[in-house]
Amino acid sequence: ETGVTQTPRHLVMGMTNKKSLKCEQHLGHNAMYWYKQSAKKPLELMFVYSLEERVENNSVPSRFSPECPNSSHLFLHLHTLQPEDSALYLCASSQASDRENSPLHFGNGTRLTVT
Amino acid sequence: QKEVEQDPGPLSVPEGAIVSLNCTYSNSAFQYFMWYRQYSRKGPELLMYTYSSGNKEDGRFTAQVDKSSKYISLFIRDSQPSDSATYLCATKRDSSYKLIFGSGTRLLVRP
């Protein structure tokens, strides 16, 4: 398995459900990201973890809760979502150093539909 | 004003044409510039990565950055139907984790 793998590929959930998105990277990178992609809008950065520490939290509602147990795995826990949260959720990784970050490598995303 | 502006298209060209995709940005502190290609139902895939101004060529693709006018371009020579996808420009400041994306241009190359 190579690259960045996201599961599940598709998820339909009700507003009262709790679910989790999973991301795993096999590139040896030390930084991981969650992005949200909605139709006709630019990708929005949600969270960044570097060396398993959250370094950026981009004013995301608390119904989204990230978790990074190690440098290869990233989760996004979801609860009491709203229909407007329906989108493609993309995970990415990069190699971060004190000087610069390498470009992001993305997974294929989880298509989330909130009913 | 958006930090990165990109025409959404769609842009339709015949096979073999030279394609020019463009973005403008507002912050002169941006130093790194990237182009990603995204096929339907897939994640963005890195095409080109440049630092500061100038040109970078990779096969049929050329990325160009003009920092004086805050303008970035991607040229595709001898375009193929397999180039049909959405192209996203992106940029960031030095030592920042935050990559700022344009909204993407949808390209269709007709056989």
The residue in chain A having the minimum alpha-carbon distance to the alpha carbon of residue B40 is: A108
A18 Cα distance to chain centroid:
16
Q: Using CB atoms, which residue from A98, A103, A108 is nearest to B42?
A: A108
- Which chain A positions have a beta carbon within 8 Å of B9's beta carbon? none
From residue B111, alpha-carbon distances to A25, B17, B19, B80, B81 in Å are 36, 11, 14, 8, 6
Tell me phi and psi for residue B22, to 5 degrees: -135, 155
Query: What pLDDT does A11 receive?
Result: 96
Query: What pLDDT does A87 receive?
Result: 96
Tens-place pLDDT, residues A57-102: 778 999 999 999 999 999 999 999 999 999 999 999 998 775 566 7
Touching B: A residues 20-59, CB under 8 Å:
31, 33, 40-43, 45, 48, 50, 55-56, 58
Q: Using CB atoms, which residue from B36, B46, B97 is nearest to A31?
A: B97
Query: What pLDDT does B10 receive?
Result: 93
B95 to chain A, minimum CA–CA distance in Å? Answer: 5
Tens-place pLDDT, residues A5-61: 999 999 999 988 899 999 999 999 999 999 999 988 899 999 999 887 888 777 899
Contact A42 B49 (CB under 8 A): no
Burial class (CB in 10 A: 0-12, 13-18, 19+), A106: buried
- Inform me whether the C-beta atom of residue A5 falls under 8 Å from chain B C-beta atoms: no
Q: Tell me the sheet residues that pair with A48.
A: A33, A56
- Which chain B positions have a beta carbon within 8 Å of A108's beta carbon? 41-43
Burial class (CB in 10 A: 0-12, 13-18, 19+), B104: buried
Q: Using CB atoms, which residue from A45, A101, A108 is nearest to B43?
A: A108
Query: What pLDDT does A54 receive?
Result: 83
Query: What pLDDT does A100 receive?
Result: 64
- Which chain B positions have a beta carbon within 8 Å of A50's beta carbon? 97
Contact B4 A106 (CB under 8 A): no
Residues of chain B under the 50 pLDDT cut: none
Query: What pLDDT does B37 receive?
Result: 97
Output the six-digit token pair for A59.
Answer: 């004013």
Q: Using CB atoms, which residue from A48, A103, A107 is nearest to B46?
A: A103
The residue in chain B having the minimum alpha-carbon distance to the alpha carbon of residue A95 is: B97
